[in-house]
Structure 1
């Protein structure tokens, strides 16, 4: 009889499989939908750490450097993401909107990266996980749907199409940082092997 701990459910279609770790460079995929379940890679933890650090650095720069420079009728105005969030602060209900914008676009992606670093860094050097590492990784996964950097980029693209007809728009360094940030986040999500992390966090899978 198969041990329940050896069962893995596909995150996309909930099909149950017996977990078998494939060789390095190979992938275990769902029979029903083709979703990649397990994909061990050499140095995967080090890549995850590098990408998490990159996300944190890019997000800090993208928050405070100028994002857009708008010129119209001889007047010019440059703003950053931080300025955009503060623009809603009026002491009333719009302050809550300001906090939500900052959290969904900036704070949650940075928090997720820091949580991943907290969890993965000891595993990368074959050390025991830090205290509450499993809870930290679970929180990072729970926050994943609320990390909306990609949605922000889509919204910016739509807005720039409309503004471009009315004014001259210049892209600041933060714009390019944010564009790179989205690519890095997508790479991080594709490279991270959640099943492997959960396995390595299990005390029963660590040497005594």
Structure 2
């Protein structure tokens, strides 16, 4: 789009590519279609039928997995008759003294609190829309907050760090994975699916114009 055209278009009708910042007029694609950036081929708009219900189901599953991963044992370590079970919080809060306490709290927030908050906000914002109800109070601000937290949800980074640490510890003791380990692995997988499935432009349109998900077949 030329700069002369941009000045004549309502900013609310524009969409920017998140990768290369190219601007386009935002239009809802037809059934089975998606809008991509002509410069870098990033998907900009990809509405899917019944996507809202699928995203809510994914968020509910994430919520359950986060709570389960915190509650159940994450890892069992045994050596020469001594056995110790560690939960996810035990691993995240392993440093509780001095300035490292701040680091421990930050790790806990990034791997537990942020995914938990995003799952709750997704259900709160999209739930009414899926059932053709008006957007809940503060939906725009809360969805924006959820999107701002997305880069800080680092469950997959923690999983990678655990994998590296376990390789080094495996020669020193016998390790076995607890239920929380598999729940956390499932959480990482569902988070990736959730972020790839959601069409954020469709969600913004639904929230700003106040229509439900079924009416337009996709809010996410």
Gaps of 5+ in 1: none
Q: For 1:202, what is the secondary structure of its paired residue?
A: helix
Q: Distance in 2 between matches of 1:69 and 1:25?
A: 47
Residue 120 (structure 1) aligned with residue 126 (structure 2) = yes
What is the CA RMSD across the aligned residues, in angstroms? 1.6
Equivalent position to 1:10, from 10, 17, 24: 17
Displacement after TM superposition at 1:206 (Å):
4.4
Aligned partners of 2:139 and 2:207 also within 8 Å: yes
User: Aligned in 2, Cα 1:43/1:166: closer, same or farther, shift over 3 Å?
Assistant: same
1:181 to 157, 182, 187: 187
The residue matched to 2:149 in structure 1 has which SS?
helix
Q: Does 1:193 align with 2:199?
A: yes
Q: Does 1:134 align with 2:101?
A: no
Using structure 2 for the length normalisation, give the TM-score.
0.88
Of residues 106, 115, 130 in structure 2, which corresponds to 1:109?
A: 115
State the alpha-carbon separation in 2 of the partners of residues 105 and 172 from structure 1: 18
Residue among 146, 151, 162 paired with 1:145 = 151
Larger CA deviation: 109-118 vs 93-102: 93-102
Unaligned runs of 5+ in 2: 1-7, 213-220
Higher relative contact order (CA 8 A, sep 6+): 2
Structure 1 stretches of 4+ with a deviation exceeding 4 A read none
What is the aligned partner in structure 1 of residue 63 from structure 2?
56
Q: TM-score, normalised by structure 1?
A: 0.93
Partner of 1:67: 74
| Higher mean displacement: 16-25 or 151-160 | 16-25
Separation in structure 1 between the aligned mates of residue 211 and residue 55 of structure 2, nearest angstrom: 21
CA contact (8 A) 2:132 2:211 kept: no
Structure 1 window deviating more from structure 2 (18-27 vs 111-120): it is: 18-27
